[in-house]
Amino acid sequence: MPDASWIAREFPQADGLIYLNHAAVSPWPARTAEAVQRFADENVRLGASRYPEWRRAEQALREQLARYINAPSADDVALLKNTSEALSVVACGLDWRWGDNVVSTDQEFPSNRMPWEAQRKWGVSLRRENLWVDDAEAALMAACDDRTRVLAVSSVQYASGIRLDLKRLGSFCRERGILFCVDAIQSLGALRLDVAELQVDFAMADAHKWLLGPEGIALFYCRGEVRRDLELRQFGWHMAHNAGDYDALEWRPAASARRFECGSPNMLGIHALTASLSLLEEAGQDAVADRILENSRYLLDNLGAMAGVELVTPAAAGRYAGIVSFRPVQEDSVEVHRKLQAADILCACRGGNVRLSPHFYITRDKLDKALEVICSSI
Ligand SMILES: Cc1ncc(COP(=O)(O)O)c(C=O)c1O
């Protein structure tokens, strides 16, 4: 883990601001702003004269992301607009049969519910399982039957912060021939996601949360063996095997996951995310995860010890990641959130809870300041 001066240089946030809102939209590191500035300057001075280099940057990002999630190949990675688009590519691409079902949880963000609900017209039902049980993974597995085509879960729930055991779910799915789809936006950049080890078929995450990148550029991992199981629903020049040969009348979809990218890439986002990801790589995936878990542990321990606070996020090891949510017993969450915001402590209200989400670079003194304000607000 780089030292405090590295952190101060990369995260020169406004004086007094305490940013505990990485589960919403994260601040960029300085190097990301510099990459965007360089790209903007180049556009002003040279337009797109160096477009072939931008194409190389695009491919380099796919390779960087593939390394980051231990995908077998960069061919398994598409660069899409956002998590919702990637989930829609999967849900709208499968060849549903009447009576199929999708198993999920009753805590998903709308983007991991709506695309599945939209398949109702093909006779597909969505089973939304309760996670507030002793063994959430067992409940999800028990909800699967021989008509279950997909198990679709968030790695970490956006409001409660519950983290699921993806390894256990992945191996269950692979044994049963069920597709395993992981909305990873609330963990990618915070916790290691090894798609090979976890036996994930589809994973998606936009850049603007734990990856510390901009909105509007997302990773979509699609396991090579199931890539052709997804019928394509969007079409354009960029997805063709011969992309760039505009005169050719014959085309077929690229063999790689580029087949899911229909038109012009988000070059600005590509340059920005490349920089953000390089920072996370430099800090080290495991070191970042350790620091995030330490921060969450600290908040869970201290909030848990406060009379007047009900912890929402489970405090058991393995059940939480970067989100710590709580509810004041006597006070309204909205009011406590308002007081935190008034003290320049950025966080969120989700699902009736106050949600704190510090990244790895957030120091203990900042957490203490937030705890102080919470203590005096409840
Ligand atoms: C779990 C989860 N999935 C999906 C989304 C939406 O992501 P996107 O805007 O990239 O579609 C969010 C945003 O908060 C989220 O928390």
Quick: pLDDT tens for 153-186: 999 999 999 999 999 999 999 999 999 999 999 9
- Taking the model in full, what pTM does it have? 0.98
pLDDT of residue 234: 97
When pLDDT is averaged across residues 34-58 and rounded to a whole number, the result is 98
Q: Supply the residue whose CA is at minimum distance from atom 12 of ligand 1.
A: 109
pLDDT of residue 43: 98
Query: Ligand 1 pocket by C-beta < 6 Å: which residues?
Result: 82-84, 109, 111-112, 154, 158, 183, 185-186, 206, 218
Q: How confident is the model at residue 233 (pLDDT cuts 50, 70, 90)?
A: very high
Q: Are 169 and 141 in contact (CB under 8 A)?
A: yes
Residue 289 CA to ligand 1 center (angstroms) comes to 20
Residue 5 CA to ligand 1 center (angstroms) comes to 32
Q: How confident is the model at residue 55 (pLDDT cuts 50, 70, 90)?
A: very high
Residue 72 CA to ligand 1 center (angstroms) comes to 25
pLDDT of residue 2: 86
Q: Supply the residue whose CA is at minimum distance from atom 7 of ligand 1.
A: 83
Q: How confident is the model at residue 1 (pLDDT cuts 50, 70, 90)?
A: confident
Nearest ligand 1 atom to alpha carbon 158:
16
Nearest ligand 1 atom to alpha carbon 154:
1
Q: Residue 330: phi, psi to the nearest 5?
A: -100, -15
Residue 3 CA to ligand 1 center (angstroms) comes to 31
Render pLDDT for 311-359 as a digit per residue (tens, 0 to 9): 999 999 999 999 999 999 998 999 999 999 999 999 999 999 999 999 9
Q: Which residue has the tokens 């409940």?
A: 139
Q: Supply the residue whose CA is at minimum distance from atom 8 of ligand 1.
A: 83
* Cβ count within 10 A of residue 160: 22
Closest by CA to 188, choosing from 165, 216, 162, 212, is 212
Q: How confident is the model at residue 39 (pLDDT cuts 50, 70, 90)?
A: very high
Q: Which of 87, 160, 183, 185 to mutate to test the pocket of ligand 1 (most atoms within 8 A of CB)?
A: 185
When pLDDT is averaged across residues 11-22 and rounded to a whole number, the result is 95
Q: Which residues contact 286 (CB under 8 A, 6 or more apart)?
A: 192
Burial level of 167, CB count in 10 A (0-12/13-18/19+)?
middle
**CA distance linking residue 258 with residue 275, whole number of Å:** 21
Closest by CA to 164, choosing from 186, 189, 195, is 186
Q: How confident is the model at residue 114 (pLDDT cuts 50, 70, 90)?
A: very high
Q: Is pLDDT above 90 for 231? A: yes
Q: Is pLDDT above 90 for 25? A: yes
Residue 251 CA to ligand 1 center (angstroms) comes to 33
Q: Which of 154, 182, 183 to mutate to test the pocket of ligand 1 (most atoms within 8 A of CB)?
A: 183
Q: How confident is the model at residue 61 (pLDDT cuts 50, 70, 90)?
A: very high
pLDDT of residue 204: 98
Mean pLDDT of all residues belonging to the chain: 97
